[in-house]
Amino acid sequence: MMVSAEDTITIGLLGAGSVGAHVARTLVEERELISARVGTPVRLGGVAVRDPEAPRDWKIPGELLTTDPEALVDSSDLVIELIGGLEPAEELIERALRRGAAVVTGNKALLASRGAELNAIAAETGAMLRYEASVGGAIPILRPIEESLSGDRVTKVMGIVNGTTNYILDQMDTTGAVFGDALAEAQKLGYAEADPTADVAGHDAAAKAAILGTLAFHAPFSFDDVYCEGITEVTQDDIEAAAASGYVIKLLAIAENHSKDQAPGVVLRVHPTLLPRTHPLASVRGAFNAVFVVAENAGELMFYGQGAGGKPTSSAIMGDVVAVARTLSIGKELRTPLTYTPTISSEVDLPPLPIEKATTQYYIDMDVADREGVIAEIARVLADHHVSIESMRQPGSVTVEGEVEDSSNGAKVQIVTHLASEKDLHATVQELRGLDVVQVVNSVLRVEIEK
């Protein structure tokens, strides 16, 4: 392990965006406090940036800035990677791990695509790799799953892990704001990714689902294993219809263990979901995040907090820094480097399963002809595909260009099914679309009622 000869742990920071600037500030202004928490002096050895002149949330002292990240990595005991994206972040993290330096990162995209490889390098060299900030911003969620629940069996993790989309859906639900305006506001508040497509298309949440699933089920999963639907197709009508039936729409990242099934595995999925307004996750407002965990012995747990933003995310980074630096300092006292074993292991053969293996409830919204026998015909299609109806609403006549039409134009039917497989549901919707009495299937959304 690379603790420098002098009695100090030297930290190199890569990147000084909104999180990096807060981390730099903490390491400079709170150096004594952090050193006391670690039990050994720590110092910020340098901050690698592309443009030393760029405006930042906190003015980093000029003597700390460098444009040579490799040299900084090579002179640090602990490297904090906050560049984001795949390259050069991966190359620099690998460089640090290979020389035995500890790494703290919040890079969800990198971990979701190359996490297994990076953990393998860490295991090989005994270097520490921590990434609490990669999921849920300030919320301590990875350590509880990885460590506190390591003696239990997690069965399901279900989270609101993208602040931007939660903000947009919440604004649409509570103020009737239109999608574009709510997104612009989320960008202004600093929640959104540089390219907000990663947020609204669900890719950011999918990366976090892969990380959560990997730690919860002790098997490596990547971004490509996650079924992903974003929120761009969610309409104000969907939100209002959901509200009228006592639901709220949230973008959920779900990792579910199907180990008791004939073909065991894990389904990882991200999609807009109807939640009953009484569900604990339904009360998560604005850009806040929350992760709901179900474990065999612990039962239900929920972790809640700020999931985005420089200051909250810097808290998770600093927590990892202190934890890692403590271990470095113990190794230093013992005069022998402590080797570290990542808890990610392929302890069981638990492959990722396709979305077709998921079983959930569904909400189907249709415009239909308003005459006798229509409901019976629709019910027959569902029954033929073994999809059972939990509830059905006929909220009123169809509107055209904002005008309420008389019922000769048709009616609206909204169905919530009991648990059904994706396969049966797809076949059902396909047949419903072909019925003469169904004018249009407006929306098909998944519903999570059972925990």
- The reply on whether position 112 binds ligand HSE by CB under 6 A is no
Using CB under 6 A, pick the residue from 16, 21, 139, 192 that binds ligand HSE: 192
* Least CB distance to ligand HSE at residue 275 (A): 18
CA 75 to chain centre: 33
Instruction: Give CA torsion, residues 142, 144, 148, 149, to 10 deg.
Output: -70
Tell me whether residue 59 is one of the annotated catalytic residues. Answer: no
Contact 19, 82 (CB under 8 A): yes
Question: Which is nearer to ligand HSE, 164 or 428 (by Cβ)?
Answer: 164
CA distance 116 to 205: 18
Identify which range of 191-199, 322-330, 339-347, 390-398 contacts ligand HSE by CB under 6 A: 191-199
Identify which range of 189-197, 212-220, 365-373, 419-427 contacts ligand HSE by CB under 6 A: 189-197
* Least CB distance to ligand HSE at residue 191 (A): 4
Contact 387, 301 (CB under 8 A): no
Please, what is the angle between helix 18-29 and helix 310-333, to 10°?
A: 50
Using CB under 6 A, pick the residue from 24, 96, 128, 191 that binds ligand HSE: 191
Three-class secondary structure of residue 334 per DSSP: coil
CA distance 318 to 44: 12
Residue with tokens 């509830």: 391
DSSP one-letter code for 144:
I
Using CB under 6 A, pick the residue from 77, 204, 238, 370 that binds ligand HSE: 204
Identify residue 294 by its one-letter amino acid code. Answer: V
In 3D space, the residue among 210, 239, 33 whose CA is nearest the CA of residue 134 turns out to be: 210
Identify which range of 145-153, 156-164, 263-271, 325-333 contacts ligand HSE by CB under 6 A: 156-164
- The reply on whether position 414 binds ligand HSE by CB under 6 A is no
Q: Report the b/e string of 369-396 with b at 16+ CB within 10 A.
A: bbeeebbeebeebbeebebeeeeeeeee
Three-class secondary structure of residue 106 per DSSP: coil
Question: Which is nearer to ligand HSE, 204 or 367 (by Cβ)?
Answer: 204
Please, what is the angle between helix 422-434 and helix 374-384, to 10°?
A: 150
- The reply on whether position 162 binds ligand HSE by CB under 6 A is yes
Instruction: Give CA torsion, residues 325, 330, 333, 336, to 10 deg.
Output: -100
- The reply on whether position 40 binds ligand HSE by CB under 6 A is no
Identify which range of 160-168, 229-237, 345-353, 424-432 contacts ligand HSE by CB under 6 A: 160-168
Binding residues for ligand HSE restricted to 284-313, rule: CB under 6 A? 307-308
Question: Which is nearer to ligand HSE, 167 or 340 (by Cβ)?
Answer: 167
- The reply on whether position 137 binds ligand HSE by CB under 6 A is yes
- The reply on whether position 223 binds ligand HSE by CB under 6 A is no
**Which residue out of 108, 156, 208, 412 is catalytically annotated?**
208
Residues that bind ligand HSE (CB under 6 A): 137, 162-164, 191-193, 199, 204, 307-308
Catalytic positions, written as ranges: 208
